[in-house]
Amino acid sequence: MDSVTQALMKDFADSNDLTELASDKQFEHFAAYSVVSSRFTEEFDTNDLVVGDGGDLNVDSFAVKVNGRLASDAEYIDDVLALNGYLDAEFIIIQAKSSSSFDGAALIALGDNLVNEVFAPTQKLPVNDDVKRLIEIKERILQNSSKLKDNPVCRVYYACTGNWAEDSYLVEIIKRKRQDLLNTNLFSDVAFEPLGARQVQALYRATKTSIAREVKFEKLITLPTIEGVSASYLGVLPVGEFIKLLADDSGNIIKSVFVDNVRDFQGENPVNVDIAKTITDGLFDQFVLRNNGITIVARNIKVTSSQYILEDYQIVNGCQTSHVIFAHQNEITGDLFVPVKIIHTVSEDVAQSIIKSTNKQTNVEENDLLALTQFQRDLEDYYGGVHGDIKLYYERRAKQYASSGAIEKGRIVTIGNQLKCYASMFLDQPNQASRYQGTLLKTVKDRVFQPAHKPEPYFLSALAGYRFEIALRKLINEERDIRPFKYFLLFAFRSRFEAEEYPGAGNKKVGMYCKQLEAHLADAAKAKEAFDESVLIVREALGKLGLPVARDSAKSRPLVEEVKRTAIARRLADGATTVA
């Protein structure tokens, strides 16, 4: 492995606490993070993507993106359908080898296994639990084919540390295996990409840099001075210039520029169909009159004559219009102008007020505006005031800490992670935590993130999640079967070590309650003792119910009650309900 790739991989391993893994396994995680980050803008844990050894069908890691989120299992598809009513699916399959050359036999084996096993109607070869989960997700998606916007996209990557030199033999293998996948008639498109050291390096570096684009903006006016705003402009962009802000180097839409938009693309709803009809009917000159326009907030804008370089920008309103234009760009044969508002500000308050007000003009559920609530801002401030070894970083806005390379990734807590940890630990919902975030939030919405809630129990649940995740990563292979129960471990911890019943997040006594539990997580050694005890509780509860230590058991409601009984029994048997 060359020194540059090695240095970047070390940077990744250090920030994700993966240094104890063997070099080849580190590379699998490194490649998974680099590739999937290019297709998915939110934070994720590569431990959920990397496949276990043996029975892996040459698949080292995978992600299935459904309606903009990563599907954890087949039931996740049901949750998405219940909320959205449609499916938009993309399979990402990665084989990663730390060797310095491309292996033609490995490429053939990967392609054959995908066609003949993973995406086949039936499987003949034995597979491990991770690949079984991939196949189950695939089956559930295909069972709901009538709800698909289009056939899924399949993206296959073979990554190694060598140099891709367009070897004719390897090019022909990739061409044939891509065609084999297309011939299954399951996919609307298939990409089969070889990634050498330079390509993997570039993908990883891209996770640490903000996006910048240059556009020619001639038809505009400069708005008067506004407090908190460095500059603002109102005008129209030719569609070709606007698409520059949407497309990456491969011609795909850049999902990351919509992170601050409160909603993802909503598919072919009546509004979007109407926007598309203006284009398909050839009414290009009327588009600027029929559309409310796009709002763009940029952290920096450099102006030279009519050339504007937008750096670290977000399309905070106009996600639907942008996607429709992008999807129909090849049908635009005349002049089409897009009304835009561009705002240059580094003020977080100004940016958030713009996002909230512009999106309130359309039908947006209040849950979509979660990050903008005062409680979330207060929670972020509370995290900011915690220091020392228990320091965590609350990521109220997606990719908030993307450029902060010195921060250990595990210490970054997203709103989704916070929701899952708190609901598991204090709302007795560990069996629901792996569900689609929108479904979980709908289930507990009146009991979470309320204005009167104190921040301490939220922070405590995230701290326990962080400490226990570190311990999970250090388990030996045969012990890692407990990973699907990581949210049950949080629930077991609280039930075993609390000195009194949880008073509720709005109770003035909750601070002292949390302080007593936090003592068990004060350092890595104490946290490991608490983790080991929690693992024993969950395993004992599974045994009492006769449930296997398998992913499906982690959705059992009876297991919640049995874990609580087992934890309380251990606490009472110990004879101590408080920290010594």
Q: Which range (58-67, 82-91, 491-500, 530-539) has the least confidence?
A: 82-91
**Residue 317 has what pLDDT?**
85
Across residues 271-276, what is the average pLDDT? Answer: 86
For the stretch 506-563, pLDDT in tens is 999 999 999 999 999 999 999 999 999 999 999 999 999 999 998 889 999 999 999 9
Identify which has the larger pLDDT, 352 or 98.
98
**Residue 580 has what pLDDT?**
38
Give residues with Cβ within 8 angstroms of 509, minimum separation 6: 503
- Mean pLDDT score across all residues of the chain: 87
**Residue 356 has what pLDDT?**
64
For the stretch 89-143, pLDDT in tens is 999 999 999 888 899 999 999 999 999 999 999 989 999 989 999 999 999 999 9
Percent of the chain scored above 90 by pLDDT? 56
Examine the pLDDT at 579 and tell me if it is beyond 50. Answer: no
**Residue 505 has what pLDDT?**
93
The one-letter amino acid at 478: E
DSSP 169-215: HHHHHHHHHHHHHHTTT--SEEEEEEE-HHHHHHHHHHTTS--EEEE
Across residues 340-357, what is the average pLDDT? Answer: 76
Distance CA 341, CA 338 (A): 10
Examine the pLDDT at 362 and tell me if it is beyond 50. Answer: no
Q: Which range (133-147, 435-449, 481-495, 548-562) has the least confidence?
A: 435-449
**Residue 218 has what pLDDT?**
83
Across residues 383-400, what is the average pLDDT? Answer: 85
Examine the pLDDT at 578 and tell me if it is beyond 50. Answer: no
**Residue 403 has what pLDDT?**
59
Task: Label residue 454 by pLDDT band (50, 70, 90).
Answer: very high
Across residues 269-296, what is the average pLDDT? Answer: 88
What φ, ψ does residue 65 adopt, rounded to 5°?
-95, 120
Identify which has the larger pLDDT, 225 or 464.
464
Across residues 73-90, what is the average pLDDT? Answer: 89
Task: Label residue 264 by pLDDT band (50, 70, 90).
Answer: low
Examine the pLDDT at 358 and tell me if it is beyond 50. Answer: yes
For the stretch 167-177, pLDDT in tens is 999 999 999 99
With CA atoms as reference, report the closest residue to 120 among 128, 111, 129.
111
Distance CA 565, CA 563 (A): 6
Across residues 230-245, what is the average pLDDT? Answer: 91
Identify which has the larger pLDDT, 578 or 135.
135
Identify which has the larger pLDDT, 248 or 117.
117
Across residues 217-235, what is the average pLDDT? Answer: 87
**Residue 364 has what pLDDT?**
41
Identify which has the larger pLDDT, 445 or 243.
243
**Residue 20 has what pLDDT?**
85
**CA 519 to each of CA 22, 161, 392, 532: distance values in angstroms, whole numbers, following the listed order:** 33, 45, 16, 16
Helix (H) or strand (E) holding 222: strand 219-222
Contact 314, 260 (CB under 8 A): yes
**Residue 82 has what pLDDT?**
86
Contact 100, 161 (CB under 8 A): yes
Residue matched to tokens 């058991």: 553
Task: Label residue 348 by pLDDT band (50, 70, 90).
Answer: low
Task: Label residue 436 by pLDDT band (50, 70, 90).
Answer: confident
The tokens describing 353, both together, are 């007020």
Strand partners, 212: 311
Domain residues of the chain, as ranges? Answer: 3-206, 212-364, 369-574
Across residues 212-240, what is the average pLDDT? Answer: 88
Distance CA 215, CA 551 (A): 49
